[in-house]
A and B are shown apart, each in its own frame.
Chain A
């Protein structure tokens, strides 16, 4: 066989395999999106209908339900905890990356261990803690809990990015007349932008998706979208159309944010060399 034909075949096989994998991952998503436009009856028809007259009724119902309020809660909690985590995470990571700290390996491992905690193990203590603080069913309680998980994650990811910055860049800035704080702000932080984007996405997704803690610590006012979604399954039956519509709406913020920081994210994932 000629070399060109061989390489052509190789490319086709590669494409088919990647397409297959992508489809396998995207299929549930597609199913949800299709279901959100179907009527109750159409959802359960076998074999599934691929072509149908879409209805917006599910979306109308959801837009006028509690779900929008719960989504607002979710976004608020996620945004605040992500922001706080980035601020504390980047400062702490920079400290660990640049200054000799006695036993820093052990401290870093302890920080990471916070993230390894199974939530189910801490959810009852959290409940008792927040009850005595009078913070049950508040957004603040969730922000605090999510920060615990997100800050430890931010520190680890961002430390890697700060370690990548050649020390000469900071030394040059110090010689140029900048104080250590200014060096951090004007040189180091701009150089880890891809890291900040990556961290932000992961923190955001983690906070938006969190279910167990939110379920335990909230009852009415501070209920978040995942909990709200679950509550759409009632003893009167499950309205899959509305759940699908809610799920689609819930996806939108993350998708939009991801598109927004896409370029930084790609650089962050590939840990692009900076020099």
Chain B
């Protein structure tokens, strides 16, 4: 049970690498917060500062109101699941689980009791006398979880704990982790570069890029209201389409003109766009928000089918629009027949699914 607060956290490696820049974050008691970002974005460095493996260059880390910057890792009451699980090769599962308890002055009987409890909880009873090398990936992970849980930590840190599992097991363990965390209500920090994992697990997501926090919010906010170009492009599969261009007013109407593309915008959008000072924009629209235009003339553009990727219940189409490629996700039942390369289709989107970004600051305009 704990609240974690990061305040103006900075980390320099040497003189030239500014790995983490001015990170501010509040993780409420019992919350699962995901640090999401591409590799090298500073998410793992931030996690390592919380664990105490590296000292922040400046800034403060509060756990339950207490500054823990200078505490030894073992005195922070923080547990961690490593990407490699970091199971001790020379200890059996039973010894692994007892290991954190042996560091404290806890009686043998008490240790044995708690090992039994946790083994039962994680279905590890049958493996207690095995060594890590003799376990499957899924079992190893359960041991790592057990070793972290057994000392009832205030804070749980996970560094890409699912990345070593195969796709099937990953989905299964994701659900298990979520259930476990909700049952135990342990404040958790979870680092990943996989946005599906982040969307599925998080109460709160912190998106990082080049050491900076890009946006903090609920998964749905991150998806629906990205704060800037980076977040919009990073979250969502396939990524959001971005088109560079200008907004031109023609009477009461507004038109977007890009690289061989022009899209007449709806009246509703025209009103909202009118207040923008910027005329040069990056227009964004998600592949899943594109639909076939059925007679409408607003928010419409024509594209030539370029590549067709059939998925289980949908197609991902690459449309050639002017000199740009626009991706589109469309359910199979919405199409009469399989789209063929070379076919020209008209595509539209709803007003609320249009995003505009400033091409210089990359901030969201609309």
What residues make up the interface of A, taking CB atoms closer than 8 Å to B?
A: 166, 168-169, 171-179, 182, 187, 190-191, 193, 274-275
Contacts and interface: CB of A to CB of B under 8 A. Distances in A.
Contacts of B83: 168
A191 B86 CA distance: 13
B103 interface: yes
B146 to A, nearest CB: 12
Contact of B100 (A169, A176, A190): A176
Nearest to B150: A176
Contact of B53 (A171, A177, A182, A193): A171
Contacts of A187: 88
Interface stretch (B23-31, B57-65, B70-78, B337-345): B70-78
A176 B82 contact: no
Nearest to A186: B99
A176 B84 contact: no
Contacts, number: 61
B74 A169 contact: no
Contact of A175 (B80, B88, B104): B80
Given A175-B73, A176-B103, A178-B103, A191 B82 contact: no
Interface of B: 51-53, 72-76, 78-80, 82-84, 86, 88-90, 99-100, 103-104, 147, 151
Given A171-B51, A172-B80, A275 B74 contact: no
Contact of B89 (A171, A173, A179, A274): A274
Given A172-B86, A191-B90, A178 B74 contact: yes
Contacts of B79: 175
A191 B74 contact: no
Interface centre among A168, A176, A182 (most CB of B within 10 A): A176
B130 to A, nearest CB: 15
Given A168-B84, A182-B103, A275-B84, A175 B89 contact: no
Contacts of A275: 84, 89
Contact of B73 (A174, A191, A274): A174
Contacts of B75: 177
B89 A177 contact: no
A174 B74 CA distance: 5
A100 to B, nearest CB: 11
